[in-house]
A and B are shown apart, each in its own frame.
Chain A
Amino acid sequence: MLKPMLLGIFIFLNTLNIASAFDESLPILSGVGGEFTAVDADGNTIESTNFKGSVIILAFGYTNCADVCPFTLGYLKRLYAGLSSDEQKKTRIVFVTIDPKYDNPDHLKKFIGHYNKDFIGLSGSQEQIDYIVSLYHAEYNSLATLGVPTQNIRRVNPKLFADSQEAKDDKATLFSHTITLYLLDKQGNTRSLEYTGTPVEQFVGKIRALIHE
């Protein structure tokens, strides 16, 4: 009596499994994301459709960010290390700068390469970046426009042997920005919104589910 019932449940679960190669627990977040054009680390124009076939983790940031972005990249480094080398080949970590004026492709490549040489840094024109930001309902603001005088932020305690010439040439801008990590499937659909608080194992599980779709 019990055995046929269990068998029935087993078969039922199996058909469910076959029917849903699409992971129901990771629904498409329609309206978030879309196709875009940017500039890659070698200065070449790149279409987001080039990433089709790979699972993408997309993050926004900038290289003059001292706390959040290095922490995020450190987290992504651990996340990436949690994947097998085969899974890594099917996954792309994409970091889009919101400060393309400062973060030119070469600079971005060197900065991100510090964390992992496989990571992809995307720059572009301000229009291209702003379009990507809008596609993902992301946001950024330079702190100066938020009413915080950047100059004062930067020079409260002058370095003991500060070179004043160096200081004048230093035009780094600080930004506030979205810290969401967007998980995209192999078709480029946004399937989950994560952040650096997501346990790595849990995030790895979601990446795996999308790889095997």
Chain B
Amino acid sequence: MNKSWLIKLLILSALVAVQVLPTLKAQPEIKLDKFWVVLAPAVARSTAGYGVIKNEGNQEDTLIGIQSNSATIMLHKTEIKSGMARMIHSPHMTIKSHSELVLEPMSFHLMLTDLDMTTLFEGAEIILQFKFEKSGDIDIAVPVREILY
């Protein structure tokens, strides 16, 4: 009686483990929030994009690239040192678990070059594809608008 009860309990706990463990497994959970692209003057050769990359999961993930049909895109960081601004290219950016990377003017930003201006007008939406090491490709539609800061 005692023995079979123990076996039942073991089987049950094994079943529970099979059910529960995958959800406890460490994995990143990327959310791309409030992204937008600055409407560039018609003669501009480059522009910027801003937003927040959130990782709500319990494992870090690394942004390895961003693609779009509207531009070549890189993650840059503007650094201000003694009144001078310079840009630094961050090709691989790791977003730790339960943290976020804020992209805003004078800081991290998406740098868009080789612009296809036919797609970058006020009120337009362009598709950005973020490539993460673990989460894979994430596509988002991003509005193009005048800089309002």
Chain A residues at the B interface, C-beta cutoff of 8 Å: 63-68, 70-71, 73-75, 107, 110-115, 139, 141, 143, 146, 148, 152-162, 166-167, 170, 172, 174, 176-180, 195-196
Contact = CB atoms under 8 A, between A and B. Distances in A.
A196 B45 contact: no
B80 to A, nearest CB: 7
B84 A67 contact: no
28 contacts: A64-B45, A64-B46, A66-B76, A67-B48, A67-B78, A67-B111, A68-B106, A70-B40, A71-B105, A111-B43, A114-B42, A114-B44, A141-B86, A154-B74, A156-B91, A157-B65, A157-B66, A159-B114, A159-B116, A160-B68, A161-B69, A167-B114, A170-B114, A176-B86, A177-B84, A178-B85, A179-B85, A195-B83
A114 B122 CA distance: 12
Give the top 6 A-B pairs by smallest Cβ distance, nearest first: A176-B86, A114-B41, A74-B147, A71-B105, A66-B46, A110-B43
Nearest to B46: A66
Among A153, A170, A196, residue most surrounded by chain B Cβ atoms (within 10 Å): A153
A146 B40 CA distance: 27
Contacts of A178: 83-85
B75 to A, nearest CB: 9
A111 B41 contact: yes
Interface of B: 38, 40-48, 65-69, 71-74, 76, 78, 80, 83-89, 91, 105-106, 109, 111-114, 116, 146-149
A110 B41 CA distance: 8
A172 B42 contact: no
A174 B87 contact: yes
B47 A70 contact: yes
A133 to B, nearest CB: 12
B69 A159 contact: yes
A115 B43 CA distance: 12
B86 A66 contact: no
A111 B41 CA distance: 6
A75 B146 CA distance: 12
A88 B91 CA distance: 43
Contact of B45 (A68, A156, A157, A172): A172
Given A68-B106, A70-B47, A110-B41, A159 B71 contact: yes
A159 B68 contact: yes
